[in-house]
Amino acid sequence: MAETSSLNIPTVDLADLSSNDPAGIERASAAIREAFGVFGLVYLKNHGVDTQALNRYYDAFAEFIARPAEAKKPFGRADIWYQRGWTPPNTEVAVAGNGQPDFKECYFVAPYPNDEQAAMEFPELYPENVWPANPPAFFQDGIMQLGRSLHEAGLKLLRGAALALGLPETVFADFCQRAPHVTRALQYLPLTEAQVNTDIVWGEEHTDFNLLTLLPGGRFLDPSGRAAPGPDNKSGLYLRTRATAEDPKGKMVRGTAPAGCIVAQVGQQLEILTGGTFLATPHVITAPGVSGWQRQSAAHFMHVHTSTVLYPLQKFRTPEAIRNYAPPVLAGTYDIKTLVDIGLAPPSALDKLGYRHYDRLNQQRAKS
């Protein structure tokens, strides 16, 4: 497969999108069409994310991850499908990656209050936040602030994405209102000598199932646990571009943002709504060629509300799009199905979908 380290992935200046200057908005729209149409991701500048605060948060997160597994266990909540709190190592799997579990520990929080009505309908998608006992300093405020600033940047970009497609400017932001957005901190675990240069990767190749993912940038920890530049150029985020006639598998591209920029990635929900005009980015996180190193990163996953119907919007409903994305499905149901597929929810969650009249009838028949 073709591999390249520097393709021309466009950068969008969010200041262009918050201005009312038509030239700036047109510049940003053109960049989004190219970036989301070909690569499925874009770099953002003037994003409003405080990188000093991000590093302070990573220090706090590393302190939590360094605690013994026994101390973290109460915050690993299988009963809420790990949608809040700690995800233990070897829990989540990539569907396309032969089911190999990822080498990572994570922590999920919701940066905004839940929609109470939706929480009654989808309790595992809208649980209350879970916080560790004796959290390290800045553990809570750090991730809550990070999630909110990434979300604000994402809303500006979604306005631009709608304009870029000739849609009403609030169409995607409206789908996002009170949706089950989550911010996640991730720590990729150190490889042993025996695991180095095998087919082990930190995060198997997958596409995100939400609407839009914002990535503020990560950092490496050396074997002593100190933040340091990467040990080699083998590890990091790689993306697969759209398949073409010349490149049926697409190209693998390194996803390193220019200095001062963050990354925004298209997820499956945005691909479905646009009938494939925008493309969910397949991505993989490769491990380094040396033992003992870790990597910390963070992501904010913007979702459409659980009551949204996932189906191409009218404008994109071509016969091909219908073939690819039918049947229409409720976003909350799609979320449940995907969480089962990736190993966070139990398969029995699928048995509960819809109204189970058979169970009631059987109970009634069993009565004497």
> Which spans of this chain sit near Fe ion (rule: CB under 5 A)?
208
DSSP character for 287?
A: P
Q: Which residue is nearest to Fe ion (CB)?
A: 208
Residue placing its CB nearer to Fe ion in the complex, 163 or 237: 237
CB-nearer residue toward Fe ion: 252 or 290: 252
Residue with smaller CB distance to Fe ion, 136 or 267: 267
Burial zone of 366 (CB within 10 Å; 0-12 exposed, 13-18 middle, 19+ buried): exposed
Shortest distance, CB of residue 262 to Fe ion, whole angstroms? Answer: 15
Asked whether 321 and 210 are in contact (CB, 8 A), the reply is no
Q: How many CB atoms lie within 10 A of CB 48?
A: 15
Nearer to Fe ion, 208 or 335 (CB): 208
Taking the complex as a whole, how short is the minimal distance between the CB of residue 182 and Fe ion, in angstroms?
A: 12
From the CB of 206, what's the least distance to Fe ion, in Å? 6
CB of 213 to Fe ion, least distance (A): 6
State phi, psi for 242 to the nearest 5 degrees. -60, 145
Beta carbon nearer to Fe ion, 266 or 310: 266
Minimum distance of Fe ion from residue 135's CB (angstroms): 25
Per-residue burial over 222-242, b = 16 or more CB atoms within 10 Å of its CB, e = otherwise: beeeeeeebbeeebbbbbbbe
260: left (phi over 0), alpha (psi -120 to 50) or beta: left
Measured from the CB atom, is 267 or 275 closer to Fe ion? Answer: 267
- CA angle at 235 for the pair 232 and 8, rounded to the nearest 5°: 100
Strands (E), 35-154: 41-45, 85-87, 104-109
Name the minimum Å distance from CB 215 to Fe ion.
Answer: 9
- Detail the DSSP E strand segments found in 92-199: 104-109, 182-188
Q: Which stretches within 35-138 are classed as H helix?
A: 51-65, 69-72, 116-121
Residue whose CB is less far from Fe ion, 124 or 208:
208
Q: How far is the CB of 96 from Fe ion (least distance, A)?
A: 12
